[in-house]
Chains A and B, each alone.
Chain A
Amino acid sequence: MNIRKLPVKNLERKPVRTAMLIILTALLSLAVFGGTLVERSLRSGLTSLETRLGADIIVVPASAKSQYDLESILLEGVPGHFYMKKDYLDKVGKIEGIEKISAQYYLATVTSGCCSMPLQLIGFDPQTDFTVKPWIRQNYSGELGEFEIVIGGNINSAVGKTLKFYNQSCTVVGTLARTGTELDNAVFATAQTIKALIKSSEALGLNGQTREDPEQIISTIQIKVQEGYDIDDVMNDINIHITRVQAVRTRSMISGVADSLAGTAYIIRVLIAAVWVLALVILFAAFAAMVNERKREFAVLRVIGTSRSRLARIILAESALVSLLGGVFGILLGTAVVFPFSNLIESKLGLPFLLPGTGDILLLAALTLAVSVLVGAAAASYAAVKLSRVDTGLILREGN
């Protein structure tokens, strides 16, 4: 038999031991690949959320701050709605240090039947908007007409189809790229469309929020502060001089999400480290036991003229094969778990979750594979060194 084929033959001869070693390395690479992918996706989600923040300050009705989780509604598009009089837009606009100002209109749909769930409808003023339009423009270049909508990446519909809200049919003209946040479940339209939908919802008796004329109300005021002005000073100015509204700094709201993410990422890193330590110990023990068990086999190979370095290469080749197979299985398993269940992971964690791009994922897979092979080689090197110190004659005499 060709000695080059010996590592493969050795692995084939002991299928249970080989399978166990492959499973072990597969677990190692699953932990590295799956864990890192989830951590990266959480970070991508946060970055995506940060890039969606076009406004420095958001002004909401004072009552909304106590009634709603503003962070979820304003940053993540969790369905909810509140209104204040349109006059506040002019009042806030007079505060010094404001570069851009625009109103937004919120309306949450109601659950109806199987194929609908509460959605956040977000209306913006095309003339003054500086937060939603730049984002929409990445996917839709035209101007939104009445009852035309752009939908978030999680909504299963297509351009040209219609969605019905409060008995009004709206035509989908664009689908936004995923952000990994609840904004993927939101629908964007012009202020006119949202006002018409507010009227329809009131006609159906489904909007108990306001008795005001939809033309005279707004939900939030988005503010971009002029360069040279301190954002906190502008925010405090609004809070001091204008009553019944609350100005909130967007960066302070995102810090809560960032803190939760840091905690989750830390737990994931600890778990990966624990699996690593465990797998490393077991791999070292497994290869050491394997060499012990096969001392006579290696002694015979030495007697027939196989050099010590050749023996070491046989062990390293076996470990490389096992680690490679295990690494590939682990990556495939990680792919099969993380990708199809990404929506479930996102909803269970309650954090922005956006899978990285294909290039990053392929790079991560390659690194995981390299790490698996290196760890396997390290464990086998230890066994090979141990083997090089074995007295061949003594081993063969022990057998007699």
Chain B
Amino acid sequence: MIRVEHAGSVTRLTLDRPEARNALTPEMLDALARAASEMPHETRAVILRAEGPVFCSGFDLNLCRDDPHGSTLARLLDGLSKAVTALRAQPCPVVAVVQGAAVAGGCALLGGADIVICAADARFGYPVTRLGISPAVSAPTLAATVSGGSMRAMLLDPGLIDAPHARRLGLVSEVLPDAASAEARARTLGEALAAKGPGAIVATRRLLQELSGPTPRDSRAALDRSLGLVGGPEERDLLPKAWAPRPGR
């Protein structure tokens, strides 16, 4: 469900589960982390993209049914944190291209990207506290991308923001009219990045990581905060909403 394609100096990582709006499973997150840590020597840039009309709708919470201790949700949170960390730790710049929506875990995944391009229809946000889940795990990478006030609003207000708003916050660097033009732009950027001096890119990314974080300690603290609620009374109470039919859907 994660497709890895190496084409010359650009590697494409594709979320390939469009029938489920690319909902993330523990296996997909493990595969992303593995792909990031096993980048071929020739790769100079990475494109993170998704099949279908929606980039990613977040965790596949259907997997969390009949799991009173929340071990699957804990695996998802841990896998997300590891995948994002692995994408940031590997040496090549990552361009993510978002169409439709990047919500909850899907929005968190963008923390692994250096540059985010989106289509005009894209929506972003963390509508997860209603399920008893804390989006704290995303805070450290979000803090390295947007202002403190924007991060606070994104994590405490579960409303989604549209593409121009995301552009204004700095979450997204370019908004293109549609998915095809966003893909094309990401490809162009990937090729442009691949042509830069590899040593310069590696050193610059490493320095930026040092300057803006997150530190491993912050990442761990944030993950722990999200994990701290897993299997607790509130989450056991609210999580079933995830698979209850919603009015208007």
Q: Tell whether A pairs with B.
A: no
- Residues of A whose CB lies within 8 Å of any CB of B are none
